[in-house]
Structure 1
Amino acid sequence: MDILNELRTAPMSRLQIRAVAVAIALMLIDGMDVAVAAYAAPSLSKAWNLDPVTLGFLLSSGLVGMAAGSLFLTPSSDKIGRRRMMLAALVLVSAGMVLSVFAGDVVQLMAYRVLAGLGIGGMIANLNVFVSEYSSDKRRGSIFGLYTAGFAIGATLGGFIAGPLIPQFGWRSVFVVGAVASVLMLAVTWRFLPESLDYLLSKRPRHALAKVNAILVQMRRPTLAELPELPQDQHAQQGIKDLLSGRMAVQTVLLWAGYGLMIAAYYFASTWTPKLIATSSGDDSLGVTMGLAVNFGGIIGCFIFSILAVFLRSRHLLLGSLLVSALIYAVFGMAFNQTSMAIIIGAILGVATSANVAGFYATTPGLFPAALRGTGIGWMVGIGRLVSIVSPIVVGYLLAGGWKAENIFMLFGLPLIASALAMAAVWSLSAKATPIEPGLVKVS
């Protein structure tokens, strides 16, 4: 639509900057909420005498909820709107975090982590779409670097908070902090987050014209006398059926595989690394230090991606970071037992893995038209998370079966190579697509 094209080629307005800033803050809270379980794991496993397999299931319980949220909540944003979906997801996150504080056993805590994960999964995939829609074409790659950094910053803050809190107040204290932060962001989102113009113009909810004009006024743009005509191909789009038909089916499956393999390696590193280092060294505080190093590296990686995206195409950055991170996993495995060296390499690992996430978030929303964007990204993230759920559980079984931690790190370099190959195929297919094919659009 012409109005959207004009907005994306123009400098970003104050409203767009504010919308992106709120989204980054939400990612920060998501990062903290996801990471608290990993930071609490050493203390929690001692308090409840958990074996590696049970701990693996606990660490994966949040991922189960995140997968379900992406699959079943995010597609609703194409029906009820991005803003309403965000608020509903935040309610679930807040409830899950509050209940986690009062968990009486590992089964209860798993259930509450699933509930929080349900909201986080629905929110993150929806945020990806929202940020893409409110970013200008010129700044999208750089914005997604900063946006993804929000997750790593939140996880790092969780580590700084966990370090002094857990020894003094126990593992429940970090869940208290997460609960308070989630409730505060619910209030901020209610007050400051606008609805997506792409959603209003493509789905036409009640009073869509008035809502569009209210947003345009805040952006200091001319208002509309009537809504623009919908593209002809949009009327035929039915949802997930369009994602799994024709050439789009192949692209969709490859996209699911590429994201799933990447995020499986990412969550292995983020959930298990503190525990593995703590066990190897016999020092729980060193595990927290390693977690901080990985997450701090993640922040740096997102900023590096943001800067490089000004000069290079985001898809090329993603392919490069996937292959580099595969190499770093192997190097980390070789240096695992050299604690000081492992912490340095762990930080570098964080740089590469977060750049992978930023690359996927920056490049994939453009594969889908607005009417299917929530469904497309929601299913990509959801299916990817279903794959990643297996990751911490498999690691638990490998450790119980006698695998050494260093060999497991080397193993996880292989999925990243496969992810790079899958995404190269996705972009090859999208380059051959014609813009009128339902659900399949060209991306830069």
Structure 2
Amino acid sequence: MICLTPSDGETDMDVLSEIRRSRMSRFQVIAVSIALALILIDGFDVAVMAYAAPVLSREWGIDPVTLGFLLSASLFGMAAGSIFLTPLADRIGRRKLTIISLVIISIGMVLSVFATGTTQLMVFRVLTGLGVGGMMANLNVLVAEYASDKRRGSIIGIYTAGYPIGATVGGLVAAPLIPQYGWQVIFGIGAALTVIMLAVSWKFLPESLDYLITRRPARALERVNGILTRIGKAPVEALPSLATAVKEQSAIQEVLTRPVRFRTQMLWIGYACLVAAYYFANTWTPKIMATASSSDSAGVTTGVIANAGGIIGCFIFSALAVKYRSQILLVATLVGAAAAYVVFGLVFHQIGVAMVLALFLGILTTAGIAGFYATSPGVYTARARATGVGWMIGLGRLVSIVAPILVGYLISGGWQPENVFFLFAVPLAAAALCIVALGYSLKRSGAPLATEAVPAAAH
């Protein structure tokens, strides 16, 4: 724990803990609000491709395989951003990397408006995803650091819902505007919103106190005191002495050594299976429903309904996890999601029924993602938590790239849409078995089951 010494001569106190125990100041509320707005924009920018897909596939004569690659392009960028950009935050700061990521997203969205072919648009979507992937983890850190202990769970729950909220807003905007102005309009709106938030972040987004204290960039003490003053806390005379950092190898050893290695494998396999089904539904359902109904609007509406379900799912899981263990809720969610995929495959030609069921697809799959983030921290000790959970997220994003592309090949090869939904019910059931095995392993070793439901945004 980092301790700072106030300049007024009081005894040493843990200023960071004091901030987190206190009522949130206006400065903290603004910082958290900016992060919440940014995750909304991320959800909007990533989802627009799914809403533009039906029109684009007709105008450009895109075959299903190519469309699958196009839908996965931003997901590939997100994976690359998470792997290669996010670690820079520990060197250059959370705020600076967020600004850089916003610049990248803005460029990608603006260029997408003027794309004239699938290859160009695919490159621009990768660029957009690169910025989104680089920024999301940093925003999660800022929210956790600037939220008070009392409000942190609620705020992070809202933050988790921000991504599907942004995607839902994208659909609500796309439905009336794309038929009238063309697919470019939705990318233009996303670009404008991103540029606006870039300006807002440049002006108002603060740096992380934890980064300033641990990395000690230029003028660190001055910047720390500036933030403390704005929060309403006394400035400090000097930065504290830092404890010796735990070596990274220690975390890797814990994650990959028995018995934790088995639990790690169950987490990674289970999360990857869930994310595969989640991104299949999010990217392909609008197109499948548009084809089945001969109506682009019906496809967009179905996508909006599914994303709205995702918002509801985040809040439902967070509320239930106060009373029930995360693993129990997660298994129930995954089993329910598998059943919902089967039923959706059976009824999707009945457009009205399928739209209602799309709500449950969104609720169950997104609640499952929140469930993995509530469950996974309890598998590791504090020294290995970031490594274990971070690698789980990275693997999930890599799988998220493959799922839409695979579906493109399957449909191009003659698979009927209902069979694709049946197929993706299998990994959801497998994910449930992985969590059952994880819980059994924890119970057998006497390790406490994770019960804290603090979901984080890592789609």
Shared fold (TM-score greater than 0.5)?
A: yes
Matches of 2:344 and 2:294 in 1, distance apart? 19
Matches within 5 A, 1:159-308: 159-232=171-244, 234-237=245-248, 246=257, 252-308=264-320
Structure 1 residue 257, shift from structure 2 partner: 3.1
How far apart in 2 are the matches of 1:368 and 1:218?
Answer: 36
- Bigger drift between 160-169 and 310-319 goes to 310-319
- What amino acid is aligned across from residue 219 of structure 1 in structure 2? I
2:372 & 2:28 partners in 1: Cα distance? 21
**Are residues 359 and 9 of structure 1, via their aligned partners in 2, closer, same or farther at CA, if it must alter by over 3 Å?**
farther
SS of 1:412's equivalent in the other structure is: helix
Aligned residue-pair number = 436
Amino acid at match of 1:399: I
CA gap 1:221/1:81 in 2 versus in 1, 3 angstroms: same
Q: What are the Cα deviations for residues 9-53 of structure 1, in whole angstroms up to 9, with x where unaligned? A: 444333333222111111111111111100000000000111111
Judged with a 3 Å threshold, the aligned counterparts in structure 2 of structure 1 residues 243 and 42 are, in CA distance, closer, same or farther, namely: farther
Offset of residue 6 of structure 1: 4.1
| Structure 2 Cα separation of the partners of residues 420 and 4 of structure 1 | 39
Q: Distance in 1 between matches of 2:220 and 2:323?
A: 37
Q: Give me the whole-angstrom Cα distance separating, in 1, the residues matched to 2:133 and 2:15.
A: 31
Equivalent residue number for residue 83 of structure 1: 95
SS in 2 for 1:332: helix
Contact 1:271 1:392 in 2 (8 A): yes
CA shift, 1:201, in A, is 3.1
Unaligned runs of 5+ in 2: 2-13, 453-459
The corresponding residue for 2:39 is: 27
CA contact (8 A) 1:199 1:370 kept: no
TM-score by length of 1: 0.87
Is this contact kept in 1: 2:277–2:403, CA < 8 A?
A: yes
Work out whether residues 133 and 196 of structure 1, in 8 Å CA contact, stay in contact via their aligned partners in 2: yes
Choose 32-41 or 317-326, whichever is displaced more: 317-326
| Larger deviation, residues 151-160 vs 134-143 | 134-143
Q: Deviations over 1:383-439 (max 9, x none)?
A: 2111111100111111122222122222222323333444566678889799xxxxx
Partner of 1:389: 401
Deviations 1:182-216, CA, capped at 9 Å, x for gaps? 11111111122222223233333333333333222
SS in 1 for 2:236: coil
Once residues 193 and 362 of structure 1 are traced to their aligned partners in structure 2, the CA distance between those partners, rounded to angstroms, is 27
Equivalent pair of 1:7/1:136 in contact (CA under 8 Å): yes
The structure whose Rg is larger is 2
Question: Percent identical across equivalent pairs?
Answer: 56
2:138 equivalent to 1:126: yes
One-letter code of the match for 2:138? N
| Distance in 2 separating the partners of 1:224 and 1:320 | 50
- The answer on 1:323 being equivalent to 2:339 is no
Contact 1:142 1:305 in 2 (8 A): no
Which is worse superposed, 242-251 or 162-171?
242-251
Q: Which runs of 5+ in 1 are unaligned?
A: 435-441
Give the direction of change, closer, same or farther, for the CA distance of 1:240–1:57 in structure 2 (3 Å limit).
farther
Q: Cα 1:132–1:110, aligned 2, differ >3 Å: closer, same or farther?
A: same
1:240/1:183 Cα in 2 relative to 1: closer, same or farther (>3 Å)?
A: farther
How far does residue 94 in structure 1 lie from its aligned partner after superposition? 0.6
Aligned to 2:67: 55
1:157-184: CA deviation from partner (whole Å, max 9, x where unpaired): 1111111211111111111111111111
Contact 1:129 1:365 in 2 (8 A): no
Larger RCO (CA within 8 A; separation ≥ 6) = 1
In the alignment, the residues of structure 2 paired with residue 355 and residue 145 of structure 1 have an alpha-carbon distance, to the nearest angstrom, of 11
Deviates more, 1:406-415 or 1:359-368: 359-368
Q: Within 2, Cα distance between the matches of 1:193 and 1:317?
A: 36
Contact 2:168–2:304 (8 Å) recurs in 1: yes
1:300-379 matched pairs, under 5 angstroms: 300-309=312-321, 311=323, 317-361=329-373, 379=391
Q: State the Cα RMSD in Å.
A: 3.1
- Is residue 74–residue 125 contact of structure 1 (8 Å, CA) maintained in 2? yes
Distance 1:276 1:79 in 2: 44
Return the match for 2:119 from 97, 101, 107.
Answer: 107
Report the residue type matching 1:402 in the other structure.
G
The separation in 2 between residues aligned to 1:99 and 1:384, in whole angstroms, is 28
Q: Does the C-alpha gap of structure 1 residues 211 and 384 become closer, same or farther in structure 2, counting only changes over 3 Å?
A: same
1:49 is paired with a residue whose SS is: coil
SS of residue in 1 equivalent to 2:103: helix
